[in-house]
Structure 1
Amino acid sequence: MSRSARSGTREEILDAASRLFAATGFKGTSLQDIAGAVGCSKAALLYHFDGKDAILAELLAPAVEAFETLDARLAALDDEAVRRAAVEGFVDLVMRFRREVTVLYGDLPDLLQRPAFAGVQEMTDRLLAALTGRSAEPAARAAALLVLGGVPVACMEPCGIGDDELRSALVRSAARALDPTGA
């Protein structure tokens, strides 16, 4: 059977979509692009998924579920423990879902309006509060925004170090950025 006659599996479609979304963005990727990367027709792709939004929702579902788990864990912590747990949990989350985060950050404002991601903005707001240690100080919010934006960017591009060393560097850097004493 030739590559063009092959009907792609859901996993092949998700893998191709993930690569394409990360490289050219959600908006910049068409169903035809995904079908071509898989080696199937657009009709075959639509047999497996209702459309591009359905592919994106399934692709990002594990990351959203992990974010929900982190959100619930942080809600149970006191103000002293929440910052470190938020830093470590967020770094771990972003490192685990690097490609998905690349997709999200590329088209973030538009994507957060989609039904599949209802609640993600609220969880992000709570993570931001946790990163500040639930402080209302503007400087704490600025530092938390720096961490929230910087950790994913640091994970999107190879830094030339292994994952354990990268995690350690990100946690240390985030903790320093969030330190209210500036030490």
Structure 2
Amino acid sequence: MKRFFGILLIWVCGLLLTGCGDDFYMHTAKYDEKYFNSMITAIESGDADNIKSLFAADLQENSDDLDVGIQEILSLYQGKMVSNNSIGSEIKSLSNGYKHQYSVYEIKTDRGEYCLAYQYQAGGEKDKIGFRHVAMCYQENFLDEDVVIAYPQCEGAYAYCSDEAKKRINKKLEEAGYDFEMQDAF
């Protein structure tokens, strides 16, 4: 009988620690570093096709402006990375098997300083696994603009340094049913 109650107690404690809700949040550096390294290596290679291959298959096939955003990022990013610092990351795991990694990094190269933000989906339907949102801006503008992480619902690639990027973001916000526009942040 003691054994039964001991096992029951451990099981109940496990439920309490993991939660019974639809989702839970946790921070993990393991996946954060893996996804960051794959994207920054692709960006530094300068190969747009390599970057595109990291995005989820459904975005590669259905996004009308993914290639434009990738080219904007390649035009913005200059030099080779000398250091990076994770500003923050979070994994949101949903009961349906979807896992979303949200991360923001400061990157220093031999020619400039940048912020890179991304959303990566690690679970769920196979064609939805991969990067869903990748955005970059100059580090000096990150706090002023605060747009890198403000619009992860705008799936695709964005370099926050042009009016064209702002127009594309506003279009995606409108399509998603949001009733505000990104203001002059550039």
TM-score w.r.t. length of structure 2: 0.31
Between Structure 1 and Structure 2, which shows a larger proportion of helix residues? 1
